[in-house]
Structure 1
């Protein structure tokens, strides 16, 4: 066939990449395509808004069911992407654990509702100023217990639930909050294995199993001069945040992982007053 034909599609999981590929195929397909159990993260929404400006006809943006009426052609468009909600969330955690004051411009707080709800349970309370976020200094970090003074749980879920990619930095923030909290990583295997580096730095964490970690704070973290390795993007930025609130110096290796998600991170941190430098290692 010269053109694809629209279909009613049910994704077996709410995959971001799977949803985006289905969208790209459907916009120029003949007829109507319905994508059910679609991912709805902000970057998926950005793609849909851009395609609509280019002439596509996509309905249900931001929901888990997209209806796409195929068109014969697309044209050019100019579109401004939303801020990276994961980077914004990481800087919120950074501000909290270092007791610093930060103003995050163009933070797109409409994409941070669940993140801010979870952070509030640790005592982190940014001020929303239009499209910006202001983090006051010296916030009192304390875990908010559940009903009956039970140990609270922080777990991740597909959007609009708490993002899995925010679990690592939130866990570091919890090491500096007074109280105990259980982290339950439901979506990814081995995501929590990086906590052994935090334990070596002085964090009080019990790794219950590959998916659950119990964190008790506050803990005085110590720098790792011998060096620690960044296993992935999110664990890498979490270890960097831990190093910035630790006593002493820390060397972080394999920073290419961090660079994948945080452009010029050392420059941004230097502008905030952090003592950090990128060192080129021969070989």
Structure 2
């Protein structure tokens, strides 16, 4: 188990380039299974979850050709579907949350899919009903073997288009059902579909491959099934979660940072939410400049009541950034209520922040009130453990702003979602040692 040793109190200055979007990568990489023709993907982040999925595709028989550090050409013209029944597949797929999105493409092209109960962050219940209910609507048969360690099976001789209302606007659920529907017979209508930029990117890529998807960017997708898909080339968006993390980091550490190549129009309300925390941002073309700020003041509502920052389906605020907003508010002036609606365990890392000196009231599993310190008292360095990807980076931001030295254990969780984060931050003035 690796750890970070962080010396806090450093003021960073310089430019940083966000990695490719992790949540987009997991969908896009699974989509290469839909065609035997070459598919070239650019701006792939080199992070644990993505690299494990690429290795899993290789085990399934997908040929991979490295073009450069972030570009790979995939050819799925000799897929071994029997590998899905092997112990090796069960072990590797179970360690990766994104492996569930192999099911849609496998079902569409090979009429069967297998997956063990996937792993991932321990942030609360993350049910898969949306995926399998959607597959069943398309005509697939679903079975779950609990005695076999939790193994999901879907089979379909013929997939047929239909109308469906998703029980929740799940990003991965929408992506999985969408990939199954593109090669189903007839027309599929998906209502209450997720419409995050990652989904939009997947739809645009599939359409370039020959799919017929309309309603991209809305919560109503219409898919006219086609017999086959061809190859394409695709460049992934920069990671909006990393961009938000860098904004929060700059504010907490009084740093002057320019975040490059942000694809600002695709960030939605993210810049506005950080502005409501009092953080100054300057959009310079496709870059975001965050100046060093001694103080930043949390906005309030028109009647003077406490601001609430809550997650919501896109175009609402992404839940993946609530941990960052929470930690950024620690040194603000004012009070904010953080309402994490989706996951019931994602706020449980606040005990470490309280131990560091933050004033946070955990109201219940979904809500925490942060009373800003306004720099009157610096946080103090402690030893702590990263429970999940986003909380891990929130703790890293807290440690970088704290007085003294902090140790963060279990940084494998951070490595799952952030590419060489220590090296990139050290390049602009941080002091992070990987132990």
Within 5 A, what are the aligned runs for 1:57-136?
A: 57-136=212-291
Instruction: Decide whether the 8 Å contact of 1:106 with 1:131 is kept in 2.
Output: yes
Instruction: Decide whether the 8 Å contact of 1:124 with 1:139 is kept in 2.
Output: no
Within 5 A, what are the aligned runs for 1:97-176?
A: 97-138=252-293, 140-176=295-331
Q: Secondary structure at the match of 1:175?
A: helix
Instruction: Decide whether the 8 Å contact of 1:123 with 1:139 is kept in 2.
Output: no
| Corresponding residue of 2:396 | 240
Where in structure 1 are there 5+ consecutive unaligned residues? none
Note if 1:271 corresponds to 2:427: yes
Q: Secondary structure at the match of 2:347?
A: helix
Q: Secondary structure at the match of 1:44?
A: helix
C-alpha distance in 2, partners of 1:107/1:215? 28
| Corresponding residue of 2:145 | none
Note if 1:221 corresponds to 2:379: yes
How many angstroms does 1:103 deviate by? 1.3
C-alpha distance in 2, partners of 1:53/1:102? 36
How many angstroms does 1:265 deviate by? 0.7
User: Paired residue for 1:231, among 387, 401, 425?
Assistant: 387
C-alpha distance in 2, partners of 1:180/1:73? 54
How many angstroms does 1:134 deviate by? 1.3
C-alpha distance in 2, partners of 1:272/1:67? 46
Within 5 A, what are the aligned runs for 1:3-18?
A: 3-18=158-173
Deviates further, 21-30 or 110-119: 110-119
How many angstroms does 1:2 deviate by? 5.2
Within 5 A, what are the aligned runs for 1:197-212?
A: 197-212=352-367
> C-alpha root-mean-square deviation of aligned residues, in Å?
1.3
How many angstroms does 1:139 deviate by? 5.8
C-alpha distance in 2, partners of 1:51/1:106? 24
Note if 1:36 corresponds to 2:194: no
Q: Cα deviations across residues 205-225 of structure 1 (Å, max 9, x unaligned)? A: 11111111111112521111x
C-alpha distance in 1, partners of 2:178/2:413? 29
How many angstroms does 1:169 deviate by? 0.7
C-alpha distance in 1, partners of 2:268/2:228? 36
Q: Secondary structure at the match of 1:191?
A: coil
Note if 1:182 corresponds to 2:359: no
C-alpha distance in 1, partners of 2:164/2:284? 40
How many angstroms does 1:168 deviate by? 0.4
Q: Secondary structure at the match of 1:74?
A: coil
- TM-score, structure 2 length as denominator? 0.62
Deviates further, 192-201 or 56-65: 56-65
Select the structure of larger CA radius of gyration.
2
C-alpha distance in 1, partners of 2:176/2:218? 17
Higher strand share: 2
- TM-score, structure 1 length as denominator? 0.95
Q: Secondary structure at the match of 1:181?
A: strand
Q: Cα deviations across residues 106-139 of structure 1 (Å, max 9, x unaligned)? A: 1111222311121111111321122221111226
Q: How many residues align?
A: 277
